[in-house]
């Protein structure tokens, strides 16, 4: 499938939700609310936000003015390119699937600009909320303010769904040129930092040793390190490992 840069931005709009619509009122009653958490539902069919809640507390915008382009463009510059490309690659991947779409989602740790200019650390999850005839119709985004998040040079993300391994491997391959690490890579590296050999890590995850090597070795080039020891040190320095 051919991809294009800024694909997500080209297919979303700045049209906010209608807070008086029947859909909005239904979501308002059925979607749970938590402190320091904001939610949106965007409809590709209607080309607009159909639900927004909690954004005044999280980013300083009224729910009535929150729109999808604002969600995308409020990301701080150092995270923007990666976040936009993660959105693009995820949507392209989902466009290749036709079943159980509502079970797919991805997470990312990033920072966004508050309306007043301050920086807000967020843990965000984006997933398919509704599909029709094997195509994504609505997506849902949930962003939680996590003040204890520590950011280094490396973007951290994870992918989930019925074909999670394929989803995350696709993203890891397509996003290789970014300073980023997936959940799967981080899990393997965490065991390596505890002294586990590649064979032992493979046994923990019930995969082949070559599969573990494919998770860890490519990070040498990605992060400009020369050895596993150097990679582990880099991971600690950049808040990848606690």
Query: For residue 118, what is the domain's CATH number?
Result: 3.30.450.20
Tokens 């080209």 map to which residue? Answer: 10
Shortest CA distance to 238 belongs to which of 147, 225, 200? Answer: 225
Instruction: Please tell me whether residues 101 and 212 are part of one structural domain.
Output: no
Strand-pair category, 155-160 with 180-182: parallel
In-domain check, residue 165: no
Kindly state the tokens that stand for 24. 């909005």
pLDDT at 28 over 90: yes
User: In 10 A of CB 129, how many CB atoms?
Assistant: 22
What is the H or E stretch that residue 9 is in?
Answer: helix 7-11
Sheet containing 105-113, strands listed edge to edge, beginning at the edge strand earlier in sequence: 48-53, 37-43, 135-145, 119-132, 105-113, 155-160, 180-182
Residue 62, domain extent: 7-147
| CATH number for the domain harbouring residue 187 | 1.10.10.10
Per-residue burial over 185-221, b if 16 or more Cβ lie within 10 Å, else e, is bbebbbbbbeebebeebbeeeebeeebbeebbeebee
Per-residue pLDDT at 192: 95
Put simply, whether the predicted model's pTM sits higher than 0.75 gets the answer yes
Instruction: Please tell me whether residues 142 and 63 are part of one structural domain.
Output: yes
Instruction: Please tell me whether residues 34 and 139 are part of one structural domain.
Output: yes
Instruction: Please tell me whether residues 221 and 142 are part of one structural domain.
Output: no
Per-residue pLDDT at 5: 57
Per-residue pLDDT tens digits for 101-123: 999 999 999 999 999 999 999 99
């Amino acid at each position: 499938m051919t991809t294009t840069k800024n694909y997500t931005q080209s297919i979303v709009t700045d049209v906010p939700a209608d807070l008086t619509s029947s859909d909005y009122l239904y979501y308002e009653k059925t979607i749970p609310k938590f402190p320091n958490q904001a939610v949106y539902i965007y409809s590709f069919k209607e080309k607009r936000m159909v639900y927004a809640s909690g954004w005044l507390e999280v980013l300083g915008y009224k729910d009535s003015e929150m729109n999808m382009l604002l969600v995308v463009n409020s990301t701080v510059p150092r995270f923007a390119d990666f976040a936009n490309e993660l959105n693009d690659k995820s949507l392209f991947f989902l466009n290749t699937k036709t079943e159980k779409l509502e079970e797919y989602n991805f997470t990312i740790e990033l920072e966004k600009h508050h309306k007043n200019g301050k920086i807000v650390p967020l843990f965000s999850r984006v997933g398919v909320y509704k599909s029709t005839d094997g195509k994504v119709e609505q997506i849902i985004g949930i962003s939680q303010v996590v003040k204890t998040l520590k950011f280094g040079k490396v973007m951290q993300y994870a992918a989930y769904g019925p074909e999670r391994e394929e989803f995350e491997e696709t993203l890891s391959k397509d996003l290789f040129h970014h300073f980023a690490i997936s959940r799967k890579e981080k899990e393997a590296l965490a065991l390596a930092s505890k002294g586990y050999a590649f064979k032992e890590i493979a046994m923990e995850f019930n995969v082949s040793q070559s599969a573990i090597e494919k998770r860890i070795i490519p990070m040498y080039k990605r992060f400009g390190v020369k050895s596993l020891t150097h990679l582990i040190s880099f991971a600690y320095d950049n808040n990848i490992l606690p």
